[in-house]
Every structure is written in C-alpha cells, then in structure tokens.
C-alpha cells in the first residue's frame, strides 16, 4: 500500500522515540539476550553452582544488565536514557574485561558465560550490541540537545 | 534409543534462514511489514509447535536429556519467538519491522542447533 501523497507522516520518516526505528531491532535483540542470559544463569545457579561459581554469578550479572538496558531503551525518557547509557557502558566494559579474563585464565570459566571469549559463544553479538546501543543513544542525546538549542534561540528571539 | 525425526528441525532451520533472508531483503528495500512476512511467521510458529509436541512425547516416553531444566526452558520459550517478533515487528511502521522478523528467523535456526546440543536425540 502506498502512502497518500501530501500527508507527511513524521513518525514513519523519523523515529519518534528510542523504541521505534532502529531502536525496535535493538530492543528485540536486547530482550533476547536478557532472557537467554538470565534463564541460563538461573538454571546454572540452581543446579550446579559449585561447578563454576564465578562464571555463573557473572552470567546472572550480565542478565540483569541486559534486562535493565532492554527496559530503559523501551521507556526512552531522558532519565531512562541515562540509565541505558550506563547499562550499555557496563556491558561493553564487561564483555571486554571478562573476555580477556576468560582467555587469560580459562580455569575460572569451565562453563561459558555470555561474555567469555568476547561473546564468541553467541556469535560476538554481546560485543557488538553495546556499541550499537551507545551509538543509538548518542543520536538521541544530540537530537534532544539540538531541539533544546532551537527552543532557547526561539525564546531569546522572543525577548529581543 | 530412537531419535526424534530430524526432518522437522532441519525444516525449521531452512525455513528460519529463508525467512531471515527475505525479511532482510525487505529491510534493504525499505519496505514495511506485510502479510507475506506475517504468514511466514505463522508457518514457523506451527513448525515450532510440532517440534515441541514431538519432544514432549519423547519426554513422556521416559527418556531424559542431561539437563532437563534447560530443555524445558527451551520448549517453553521457543513458541514465543515468532509470536513476540510478530507483535513487536508489526508495531513498527518502517523498514525496521522486517528487521525484527529477520532476528526471529535466525533465532529459530540457532535454537535447533542448541536443542541438538542439549539433547542429541533431537536430530538436525
């Protein structure tokens, strides 16, 4: 179906929140990882915690961070976006730090976590995801800034 | 020990990858969600439900994988993949709707490989 001519739909042309446009895809993948990491950690901690406690606790932590990122990206308010930036940053630091740790000291990680081997067990998606998340959030920060600039310059013009 | 017929998981892998390819093409062509994608998701949903039924029948027959909890988690989560992707993608009125569907197709294919790892009697 084609759009009727002469009726521009701003929502279709330009995402109007962090959960629309590319954000829709981002949240879908984040939701998937939130579920995968949390469920896996829950099963591991419940059934064989002593086998690899460090790996399982890190999996659980990763799961919580993914849940937080999924929810805050979906909410998209300025406060939620700030929490999302922190979540994505923690993820990026986590995947790099744990990835390096797991390569340097494989004995601590007899079982894989989402972040071990830089996320190699998950097609390196855990490494790429926070980068896209941060880029998406930065676009929003810029857009809000430019809107604020337009508003303030308009206000200034009004007072002149 | 008899194995679950590998035809269904193999069909799911092929269907999932084909769906992902078609959905990504729609994203590249800047198309929105359409009926074709929703119908394809419906087919994927039916295939996944058939597989869940087959695996549950095997469990009911008394056979067990090494990690029953993980398998049951997969059986519960699997049918939600096309459903959730369908709703989430249909809400998006841009090229990113089909992109969500592409993820669902890829996930369905990956799930088959993981199922085989969890319980090798489930053929691929």
Tens of pLDDT, residue by residue over B14-57, are 999 999 999 999 999 999 999 999 999 999 999 999 999 999 99
* Nearest residue of B to residue A24, measured between CA atoms: B96
pLDDT range class, residue A144, cuts 50, 70, 90: confident
Six-digit token string for A136: 């998406």
Which residues does chain B have within 8 Å of residue A39's beta carbon, measured at their own beta carbons? 73, 77
Type and span of the H or E element at B32: none
Which residues on A lie below 8 Å from B88 (Cβ)?
24, 27-28
Rg (C-alpha) for chain A, rounded Å, is: 20
What CA–CA distance (Å, rounded) separates A56 from A48?
9
- Measured CA to CA, the distance from residue A8 to residue A36 in angstroms comes to 40
Whose tokens are 């930036």? That residue is A85
| B63/A contact by beta carbon, under 8 A | no
Closest alpha carbon within chain B to A74: B88
Q: Please, are residues B13 and B112 in contact by the beta-carbon 8 Å criterion?
A: yes
**Cβ–Cβ contact B89 with A under 8 A:** yes
Q: What mean pLDDT do residues B68-77 have? A: 93
Query: Which SS3 state, helix, strand or coil, does residue A48 take?
Result: helix
Residue given tokens 């959960």 in the structure block: A19
- Give which of B33, B100, B97, B115 is closest to A31, Cα–Cα: B100
Closest chain B residue to A14, measured at CA: B94
- For residue A91 the two structure tokens come to 């993820």
Q: Write the CB contacts of B114 (distance below 8 Å, at least 6 apart in sequence).
A: B74
pTM: 0.86
Distance from CA of B104 to the nearest CA of A (A): 9
Question: What confidence tens digit (pLDDT) does each residue in B24-35 have?
Answer: 999 999 999 999
Residue B86 touches partner A, C-beta closer than 8 Å: no
């Amino acid at each position: 179906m084609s759009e009727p001519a002469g009726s521009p739909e701003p929502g279709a042309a330009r995402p109007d929140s962090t959960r629309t446009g590319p954000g829709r895809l981002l949240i879908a993948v984040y939701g998937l990882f939130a579920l995968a990491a949390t469920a896996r950690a829950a099963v591991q901690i419940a059934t064989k915690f002593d086998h690899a406690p460090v790996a399982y606790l890190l999996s659980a932590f990763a799961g919580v961070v993914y849940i937080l990122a999924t929810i805050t990206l979906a909410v998209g308010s300025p406060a939620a976006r700030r929490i999302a930036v922190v979540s994505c940053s923690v993820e990026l630091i986590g995947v790099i730090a744990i990835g390096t740790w797991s390569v340097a000291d494989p004995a601590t990680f007899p079982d894989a976590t989402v972040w071990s081997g830089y996320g190699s067990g998950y097609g390196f998606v855990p490494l790429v995801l926070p980068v896209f998340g941060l880029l998406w959030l930065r676009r929003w920060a810029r857009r809000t800034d430019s809107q604020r600039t337009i508003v303030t310059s308009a206000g200034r013009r009004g007072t002149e | 020990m008899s194995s679950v017929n590998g035809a269904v998981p193999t069909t799911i892998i092929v269907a999932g990858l084909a769906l992902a390819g078609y959905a990504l093409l729609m994203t590249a062509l800047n198309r929105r969600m359409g009926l074709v994608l929703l119908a394809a998701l419906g087919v994927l949903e039916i295939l996944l439900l058939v597989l869940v039924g087959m695996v549950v029948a095997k469990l009911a027959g008394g056979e067990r994988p090494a990690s029953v909890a993980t398998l049951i988690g997969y059986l519960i989560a699997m049918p939600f993949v096309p459903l959730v992707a369908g709703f989430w993608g249909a809400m998006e009125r841009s090229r990113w709707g089909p992109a969500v569907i592409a993820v669902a197709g890829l996930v369905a294919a990956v799930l088959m490989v993981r199922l085989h790892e969890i319980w090798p009697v489930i053929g691929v």
